[in-house]
Chains A and B, each alone.
Chain A
Amino acid sequence: EAGVTQFPSHSVIEKGQTVTLRCDPISGHDNLYWYRRVMGKEIKFLLHFVKESKQDESGMPNNRFLAERTGGTYSTLKVQPAELEDSGVYFCASSQDTRGLYGYTFGSGTRLTVV
């Protein structure tokens, strides 16, 4: 079974530019999550999709972040325009269980550096 795939693995962009991160969940997993780890801080929840619908987007920092999930398959997270404080590692995870009771499967993350 293929795991959760994220790309790019690394991205370095200038402040003000746009970056789009992509996540391919495990096939058949309706639940898709985005998390972020800023340096020195804990991993924090951004949002949760159930199929193509946003179930919970309470962790999205501001309206510069836009997440989509096309047809309930892969998801993208766009940051526009990027700011320095957006630097960090963005993780995607997926699960079959809506409540995440049996844990998620995480991808390896996208390391974003805004300079």
Chain B
Amino acid sequence: QKEVEQDPGPLSVPEGAIVSLNCTYSNSAFQYFMWYRQYSRKGPELLMYTYSSGNKEDGRFTAQVDKSSKYISLFIRDSQPSDSATYLCAMSLLYNQGGKLIFGQGTELSVKP
């Protein structure tokens, strides 16, 4: 069983839609959660990070963590064609000395004009 599960998609939505991306994890010791965005032929780019249960908002993006259910989400409001990319969840142990990240497989998102 993978430590982090993420539906690879692809996911296609019309411009302006609300997008919901999700990951589940099995290791209850994970305490630090991140979402990365990756455009084609580029490296992952950090979007948001959080280390507690609850919501964190940044512009059109909201990250949600539910540690009791081992479930994290990323919501994108008013989606734009420029949001078309692969979205990767990643997590680590807060006190991991190495900062090693465990990634989900990534969800490919396409926002149609």
Contact = CB atoms under 8 A, between A and B. Distances in A.
A101 B32 contact: yes
Interface in A6-26: none
Interface string A72-104: 000000000000000000010101011111111
B67 to A, nearest CB: 17
B43 A108 contact: yes
Given A43-B88, A108-B42, A48 B100 contact: yes
The secondary-structure label for the interface of chain B is loop
B88 A103 contact: no
B95 A99 contact: yes
B66 interface: no
A107 B43 contact: yes
Contacts of B97: 55-56, 98-99
A101 B49 contact: yes
Interface of A: 4, 31, 33, 35, 41-45, 48, 55-56, 58-59, 91, 93, 95, 97-109
Given A33-B99, A100-B101, A109-B42, 20 more contacts: A42-B2, A44-B103, A45-B100, A45-B102, A91-B43, A91-B44, A95-B99, A97-B99, A98-B98, A99-B95, A100-B92, A100-B99, A101-B32, A101-B99, A103-B49, A105-B46, A106-B44, A106-B45, A107-B43, A108-B41
